[in-house]
Every structure is written in structure tokens, then in C-alpha cells.
Amino acid sequence: MKGKFITFEGGDGAGKSLQMKKFAEYLEAKGIEVVLTREPGGTEVGKEIRRLLVEGDKDKFDEITEILLFYADRRIHLEKLIKPALEEGKYVLSDRFNDSTIAYQFYGSNKFSDTKIMDMLYQIVAGDFKPDMTVLLDVDVKIGLERSFKKSQEMVNKELRFECVDVSFHERLRKGYLDMAKKDEERFVVVDASKSIDEVFNELIEKTKERI
Ligand code: TYD
């Protein structure tokens, strides 16, 4: 494929969406055509799946149903949006992708003893396809939760199913992301997201400019 697929990952309050937008502007200034998207909910059908996933009662699904919905969203996202844009030579930047499922549903939630089901479903929906680069915005859990608490006070948030989980969940999530990054240093770029917006962005550019 002619384009590049770049995913942004991290826990609550890491500043993914803001850094992703700034990164998109930086690429556009270089004359690159960029598509910004996210999971869950990158397509029209995906938005419906997202609503099912992020709204309502915490216990409304068991963990298998939930995971199937994430992969249904990922399949349609890949087929309808990501792959066609890459074929056209665009850079696709996605706020979350498969690493989120491993981080949240495996490392964070503790409901699975291994990643077998995720790996199998990934193979079915994506085959050998994977991101060209994954930016992990790594933030100290306390700082991240303070930021996202502030943000949630400023807006009316219906998307609460995945919010308010305990601090140990976020500690496991952070460790999980760092483990994944260590195992695949070729794909991951880890950026210290505890600093100011501009400092984080400068580190992001410094660490990625060779690759793009
Ligand atoms: P997102 O909109 O990125 O929320 P946030 O702004 O809080 O980062 O994602 C919504 C929630 O979905 C988020 O809490 C993470 C969760 N999620 C999973 O648990 N598994 C997944 O595979 C994905 C893509 C998201």
C-alpha cells in the first residue's frame, strides 16, 4: 500500500487526540494527505457500535460480547476506511487500534488469562496487516487521571462505560502498553506524555521524523 497507517495509543489523559491533531497538521504542512480517524467509531456503522460499547450499564455485556463488538468495529473500519485511504496514498492516523484491545481487555480488565482470543480475532479481521508505526503516549497514572477528571468536569459525558475504573486498572494498563512497546520496538515509538503539550509534541516529532 502506498500510504502509511499510524496509530496513537495510551491511557486516560495521555493527550492522544490533541497530539494526533498536531501531528496531522505537521504532516499536512509537508504536503501529505492525512485522514484522522478513531476506534471505536471510525465509520458510520462503527459509530453505532461505539454507542453500544461506551454508553450504558457497565455489566450490560459479558467480556466475549464486548470483544466481538470491538473487532466488528475494527473490521468495518479497516475495510471501508483505512485500507481504501492507504491505497490512495494517504496517511491514516487512528486514535486507538488493536493495541487498545490488548491493553484494556487483557492487561487492564484481568478477565482473560491470555491474548489467544484477541490474536485469533485480529487474524480474522486483519490478517497480516499492521500499523506502520504506533505512537505510545506514556503518562504517569496520577497525572493522566487528574487530566481526564478535569476534562470530564468540563463536558457532559454520556460515554461512561469505560470511565471511573480503579487506579490499579490504569497501572496495569500502563505496564501492559510499555510491555507491548518493548516487545515490538520496530513499530512502537514511546513518548513521555507527562510534560507540557509543546514539550510532548517536540519529543514526538524528534522521535518520528526519521520514520516518516
Ligand atoms: P476513546 O474514545 O479513545 O476514549 P478516551 O478519550 O477515554 O481515550 O475510547 C473509548 C474507550 O474505549 C476508552 O476507555 C478505551 C476503550 N477501548 C477498549 O477498551 N478497547 C478497545 O479495543 C478500544 C479501541 C477502546
Residue 180, pLDDT > 70, answer yes
Omega before 40 within 30 of 0, i.e. cis: yes
Q: What's the pLDDT at 156?
A: 62
| Pocket probe mutation, ligand 1, options 39, 162, 164, 180, max atoms within 8 Å of Cβ | 162
Mean pLDDT of 70-77: 98
Q: How far apart are the first and last CA of the chain?
A: 15
Per-residue confidence band for 166, with pLDDT thresholds at 50, 70 and 90? confident
Grid coordinates belonging to 47: 459509530
Residue 147, pLDDT > 80, answer yes
Mean pLDDT of 44-64: 95
Per-residue confidence band for 58, with pLDDT thresholds at 50, 70 and 90? confident
What are the tens digits of pLDDT across the range 94-137? Answer: 999 999 999 999 999 989 999 999 999 999 999 999 999 999 99
Weakest-pLDDT range from 10-24, 58-72, 143-157: 143-157
Burial state string for 157-174 with b = 16 or more CB within 10 A and e = fewer than 16 = eeeebeeebeeebbebbb
| Nearest CA, atom 13, ligand 1 | 162
Average pLDDT score over the chain: 94
Q: What's the pLDDT at 46?
A: 98
| Pocket probe mutation, ligand 1, options 36, 71, 100, max atoms within 8 Å of Cβ | 100
Residue 155, pLDDT > 70, answer no
Q: What's the pLDDT at 87?
A: 97
10 in the Ramachandran plot: left (φ > 0), alpha (ψ -120 to 50) or beta?
A: left
Atom of ligand 1 nearest to the CA of 14: 8
Per-residue confidence band for 140, with pLDDT thresholds at 50, 70 and 90? very high
Report CA torsion sign: 196, 133, 87, 81.
negative
Q: Is 39 in the pocket of ligand 1 (CB under 6 A)?
A: yes
Distance, CA of 115 to CA of 15 (rounded, Å): 27
| Pocket probe mutation, ligand 1, options 18, 82, 96, 174, max atoms within 8 Å of Cβ | 96
| Nearest CA, atom 14, ligand 1 | 162
Q: Is 100 in the pocket of ligand 1 (CB under 6 A)?
A: yes
pTM score: 0.95
Atom of ligand 1 nearest to the CA of 17: 6
